[in-house]
């Protein structure tokens, strides 16, 4: 997206939308190709779709509640920090 913003001077929000359209187009094309080739486990795909829709709805609801006073940013930063610590711990234990 930074390249898209720099090359076209479009606002970041439009670059995000444009990027999502491109990713969706590539994803749907690939998914359709796999489905037509018979390489899709439909029960598993259905579980992922239901989980994704449910998680998206729940996440949207939680994000709306946390968006005031910078709480959402704090929660996101805490999550990133937690994942970083976990990855460092796993890397150290693998040695």
> Using CA atoms, how far apart are residues 67 and 75, in angstroms rounded to an integer?
10
Q: What burial class does residue 18 get, using C-beta atoms within 10 Å of its C-beta: 0-12 exposed, 13-18 middle, 19+ buried?
A: middle
Which of 1 and 83 is assigned the larger pLDDT?
83
pTM of the predicted protein model: 0.55
> pLDDT per residue over 19-67, tens digit each?
888 888 998 999 999 999 999 999 999 999 999 999 989 988 888 888 7
Q: What is the pLDDT of residue 44?
A: 94
Query: Residue 42, Cβ neighbours under 10 Å: how many?
Result: 8
Q: How confident is the model at residue 1 (pLDDT cuts 50, 70, 90)?
A: low
Q: Which residue has the tokens 């970041």?
A: 12
């Amino acid at each position: 997206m930074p390249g898209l913003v720099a090359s076209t001077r479009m606002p970041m929000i439009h670059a995000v939308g444009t990027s999502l359209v491109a990713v969706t187009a590539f994803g749907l094309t690939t998914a359709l190709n796999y489905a037509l080739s018979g390489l899709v486990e439909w029960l598993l795909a259905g579980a992922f779709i239901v989980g994704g829709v449910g998680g998206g709805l729940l996440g949207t609801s939680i994000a709306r509640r946390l968006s005031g006073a910078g709480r959402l940013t704090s929660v996101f930063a805490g999550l990133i920090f937690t994942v970083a610590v976990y990855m460092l711990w796993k890397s150290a234990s693998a040695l």
